[in-house]
């Protein structure tokens, strides 16, 4: 069938399955998640074989960072399975009472969490995301239509088949739908399915997310660009600052919560930057700095204005020496994208100001930005890190994949 017909068929099946899954008891959903995890481990060799086909096709055509995101290993398959087990262990948000109150006329009002319905998840490169998204949606009682990037088509098809098989026991085998075509018409068609799809979550590069947002007739929850900063304040603990910066930049540079621009107070820069440059060089990080940075670290290349607005997703770091906290905040306000920002400081007043004045989904004090993650926050896996201001902001976990409804209990009250 053509791409549009395929998408409509998959979305209608998901809508029917969503009705059944929304009523599933917690134990049955958890049993399904456990079976999904077992299935991934049992079929790991087949998954790795499918991934090898994707890697072979991609080599020589994409960057090293892209290949890293695409690659599956036995350890990463086990991580996917463990992520599903952790999701199963989380409290079930469905049916939870958010708040309740009684009115003077005697009616009792409760706000209760319910599933969203059908979530369309459109993403690029990282096949482990397939398992994360499916697991989170199942726990939240949602059906999901998955459309991964063409570069991971073999890996994602294999993973999705394993996961969907496990849902047979909950009576909703169609709750995980995978779009196994690389035709981009399928994405455009998915974005038009108002009434069948309740929420679209795009996860990928800046241009891709913008393309989805501009065309969708369904509400979009954006996982947007992550131009992340760390500001090292005057008087900060030097050893702590170096540990945080190296981890934030080099632990996994290809992800959205990795550090891209380091801001350093002018008073601490002479004592910090030369030693930090050595640590970063050992980690393979290339430096691009402002004139004051280059004077302290001659090995750094001169940064351009474009560097302050670049999400490298690679072992490249821009460094700027600033006069004070105000200058650091102004820089972040001008160049940040609202995903995650951090300060390293021993000054509690500065920490409070930074947390209050910096506008981002996550603000960290004396901690690495790499910690901004659903798993690290104890939320299990995540659909992404939302930079939207409505519905959900920050890591999107199980609770963020629900909405609420009012339940009103009365004994005959009417309106005067």
DSSP one-letter string for 229-253: EEEE-TT--HHHHHHHHHHHHHSST
Structure tokens that stand for 399 in this block: 């609770």
pTM: 0.88
Structural domains of the chain in order of their starting residue, each with its CATH number: 3-223+383-409 (3.40.605.10), 228-371 (3.40.309.10)
Q: What is the reported pLDDT for 68?
A: 85
C-alpha span between 276 and 287 (Å, rounded): 11
Q: What pLDDT, on a 0 to 100 scale, did the predictor assign at position 27?
A: 95
CA distance 349 to 397: 32
By the 10 Å C-beta count (0-12 exposed, 13-18 middle, 19+ buried), 166 is classed as buried
In the chain, % helix, strand, coil (3-state, to 5) comes to: 45, 20, 35
Q: Chain-centre distance of CA 140, in angstroms?
A: 17
Q: How many CB atoms are located within 10 Å of the residue 67 CB? A: 18
pLDDT at 81: 95
Q: Look up residue 35 and give its DSSP letter.
A: H
Give 314-376 as a DSSP string.
SSEEEEEEESSHHHHHHHHHHH--SSEEEEE-S-HHHHHHHHHH--SSEEEESS-GGG-STTT
pLDDT value of residue 207: 86
What the block records as the tokens of 107 is 């009616």
pLDDT number for residue 312? 94
Tell me the sheet residues that pair with 102.
Answer: 108
Q: Give the pLDDT score at 304.
A: 97
Q: Which residues contact 1 (CB under 8 A, 6 or more apart)?
A: 9
- Name the token pair of 34: 């456990």
The whole-number mean pLDDT for each consecutive block of 10 residues of the chain, a chain of 416 residues, reads: 90 95 95 95 97 93 83 95 94 97 98 98 87 96 95 96 88 90 90 96 86 94 89 97 98 93 98 98 98 97 97 96 98 96 98 98 98 89 87 93 98 95
Distance CA 396, CA 393 (A): 7
Query: Which one-letter DSSP state was computed for residue 197?
Result: B
| Run of H or E residues at 44 | helix 44-58
The per-residue pLDDT for 172 is 81
* Distance (Å, whole) CA 253 – CA 247: 9
The rounded radius of gyration (Å) of the Cα atoms in the chain is 23
> How far apart are alpha carbons 226 and 221 in whole angstroms?
15
Which residues make Cβ contacts (< 8 Å) with residue 338, sequence separation at least 6? 224, 359, 360, 361, 387
The alpha carbon torsion through 297, 300, 302, 308 (nearest 10 deg) reads: -100
């Amino acid at each position: 069938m053509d791409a549009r017909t395929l998408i409509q068929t998959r979305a209608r099946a998901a809508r029917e399955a969503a009705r059944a899954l929304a009523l599933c008891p917690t134990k049955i959903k958890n049993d399904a998640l456990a079976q999904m995890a077992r299935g991934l481990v049992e079929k790991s060799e087949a998954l790795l074989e499918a991934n090898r086909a994707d890697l072979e096709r991609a080599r020589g055509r994409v960057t090293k960072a892209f290949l890293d995101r695409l690659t599956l290993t036995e350890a990463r398959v086990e991580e996917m399975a463990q992520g599903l087990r952790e999701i199963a262990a989380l409290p079930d948000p469905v049916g939870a009472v958010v708040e309740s109150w009684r009115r003077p006329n005697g009616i009792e009002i409760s706000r209760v969490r319910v599933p969203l319905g059908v979530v369309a998840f459109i993403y690029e490169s990282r096949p482990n995301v397939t398992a994360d998204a499916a697991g989170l949606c199942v726990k939240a009682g949602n059906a999901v239509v998955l459309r991964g990037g063409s570069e991971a088509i073999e890996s994602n098809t294999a993973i999705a088949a394993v996961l969907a098989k496990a849902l047979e026991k909950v009576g909703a085998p169609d709750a995980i739908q995978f779009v196994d075509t690389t035709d981009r018409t399928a994405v455009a068609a998915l974005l038009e399915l108002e009434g069948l799809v309740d929420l679209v979550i795009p996860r990928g590069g800046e241009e891709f997310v913008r393309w989805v947002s501009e065309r969708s007739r369904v509400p979009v929850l954006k996982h947007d660009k992550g131009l992340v900063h760390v500001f090292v304040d005057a008087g900060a603990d030097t050893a702590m600052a170096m540990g945080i910066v190296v981890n934030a930049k080099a632990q996994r540079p290809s992800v959205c919560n990795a550090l891209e621009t380091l801001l350093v107070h002018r008073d601490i820069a002479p004592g910090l930057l030369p030693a930090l440059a050595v640590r970063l060089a050992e980690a393979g990080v290339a430096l691009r700095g402002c004139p004051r940075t280059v004077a302290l670290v001659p090995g750094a290349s001169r940064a351009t204005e474009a560097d302050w607005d670049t999400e490298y997703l690679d072992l490249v770091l821009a460094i700027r020496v600033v006069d004070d906290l105000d200058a650091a905040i102004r820089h972040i306000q001008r160049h940040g994208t609202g995903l995650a920002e951090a300060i390293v400081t021993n000054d509690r007043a500065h920490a409070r100001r930074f947390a209050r004045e910096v506008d981002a989904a996550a603000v960290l004090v004396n901690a690495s930005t790499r910690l901004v993650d659903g798993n690290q926050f104890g939320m299990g896996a995540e659909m992404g890190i939302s930079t939207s201001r409505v519905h959900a902001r920050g890591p999107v976990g199980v609770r963020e994949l629900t909405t609420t409804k009012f339940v009103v209990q009365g004994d005959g009250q009417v309106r005067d």
